[in-house]
Structure 1
Amino acid sequence: MVVLITGVGREGQVGESVARAFAAHGARLALVDRTAAQAERQAAALRAEGHEAHGFGCDLADVEQVDAMIAQVHAIVGDVDALVCAAGGFAPTGPLDETAVEDIERQLGINLKTAVLATRAALPMLRRTRGSIVYFGSAAVLPGATGGGMLAYAMAKSGVLALMRAVAEDERAHGVRANAVAPTSIRTAANVAAMGDRADYVSREEVAASVLWLCSDAARAVTGQVLRLG
């Protein structure tokens, strides 16, 4: 199984745990982050443990860079069986009249545009392998949530879930599945630094296990679904 994972560069973040979960199950990994050095550092750590992993640097909000990165991935590891769009980020932005347009554009860029461009570029490979895609939504945009205090983030993650549902429907005929996880706060290094150690977190390992399952043969009949975590 060949898996392409975006957003794996920083230690202590969820992308790192997702990569380790797939590696433990024998997957060959293409790891992507904004700089090649960050992605290669994670890939090298996995190779040192006997796994196959390759690092790729890419600004996932730049269409030309994404297309070039996908071509590189294909040349090195071949067609991918799964795409995990873990790249993204959170920032509180307050109500609309207190939110800068630049902050909205940034949240849409790092959370939604990155997923759109990665999916668009990887689809030809995923159609050939009848593969799967997993997106990262958020419990903050599920029914019953308000998105208060995080307007730009809520807009972006709502868009990610809309993207997932559209891709799931459009790609059904090609055998490509698309699903999403929607965690509450994940215990990452960044979240602990911002919110403290005693908040109610979902562990990175729990998130990784859910992503792994969605890409497995056990979930072959599952598409267009959102798994709330936490």
Structure 2
Amino acid sequence: MTQTTHLPIGLLTGKIVLVTGASRGIGAAAARLFAAEGARVVLASRGTAALGALVTEIRDQGGTADAVALDLADRAGVRAAVARVGELHGRLDGAFNNGAAIQTPGPLDETSDEDVEQQFEVNFRAHWVAMKAEAALMRQVGGGAIVNTSSIGSRRANPVLPAYGAMKRALNSLTESAAVTWARDGIRVNALTPGGTTTEMIDAWESATPGVVEQITASSPMGRMAEPVEVAQAAAWLLSDRASMVTGAIVPVDGGAGA
């Protein structure tokens, strides 16, 4: 049984929302969904051509969208992307910090220093820098909500992707610490831990390790991987006012695979 299509209900009406890693996969699905739910979205990614096409698509459907080039490994660029939201809209209500650098699959002993550095830069430090900049802009309007994309691989041993899992687990801790630190500022911070999701990252992993898709599917109690929009739906709820008492949560979106 596959996921059903839900009609928009205005969950994010009037909100200014930044989406990083928006050119493909979960980020692109989130961009479309958030705009359909009434948000004015600012989309950030290295894939500027894909971003431009996505912005045009959203605008053609009556939404409000802008694009900004972003390399998550560039700390100054991350800050500039957040600042651009302020220039465009004067405030920031929500941020979906999404994006992943695929580590070459392999055991810890064969994981290179370069892989570890890349994972640190993209899957941890970029979130650290972005969250601080986002929170500073949100404070100007009395608060907001931040959602980080972590991974099911952060919740248990991850011998195939050890650096990736380690950085995502660190992101979970950072999410919880930020939630407690910024609660009195009206800023909620949560994270999602998706399981197997039909994205380009999984395609790359399958190419490097044939059979991984079959293995992930078999490990899911629901018997399938998630579609990117299903992860985006969880993010939309966490960014909305309907999740007003939810902060510091690490929310699984994995079809029960981590249960």
Verify same fold: TM over 0.5: yes
**Alignment-derived partner of residue 26 in structure 1:** 38
Equivalent residues of 1:37, 1:57 under 8 A apart: no
Q: Secondary structure at the match of 1:37?
A: helix
One-letter amino acid of the counterpart of residue 18, structure 2:
L
Aligned to 2:144: 131
Distance 1:99 1:79, change over 3 A: same
**Match in the other structure for 2:238:** 214
For structure 1, the 5+ residue unaligned runs are: none
Counterpart of 1:62 in structure 2 is 74
Among 171, 179, 194, the residue aligned to 1:168: 179
Classify the secondary structure of the residue corresponding to 1:4: strand
2:226 to 202, 206, 216: 202
| 1:45-124 equivalences in 2 (<5 Å) | 45-124=57-136
Change beyond 3 A, Cα 1:103–1:194: closer
Q: Within 5 A, what are the aligned runs for 1:8-27?
A: 8-10=22-24, 13-27=25-39
Aligned partner of 2:188 in structure 1 is 177
Matched length: 226
Q: Does 1:7 align with 2:31?
A: no
Q: Which whole-Å CA distance do the structure 1 matches of 2:79 and 2:199 have between them?
A: 30
1:153 matched to 2:164:
yes
Deviation readout 1:185-217 (Å, 9 max, x if unpaired): 111244246437753311212101100000111
Alpha carbons of structure 1 residues 65 and 21: separation in structure 2 relative to 1, 3 Å:
same
Q: Which amino acid aligns with 2:103?
A: A
Q: Quick one: structure 1 residues 48 and 214, their matched pair in 2 at CA, closer, same or farther if it must change by over 3 Å?
A: same
**Moved >6 Å (runs of 4+):** none
CA-based RMSD of the aligned residues comes to 1.7
Would you say the 8 A contact 2:188–2:247 is kept in 1? yes
* TM-score of the two chains, using structure 1 as the length reference: 0.91
Structure 1: distance between partners of 2:104 and 2:47: 25
- Which runs of no fewer than 5 residues in structure 2 stay unpaired? 1-14, 218-223, 255-259
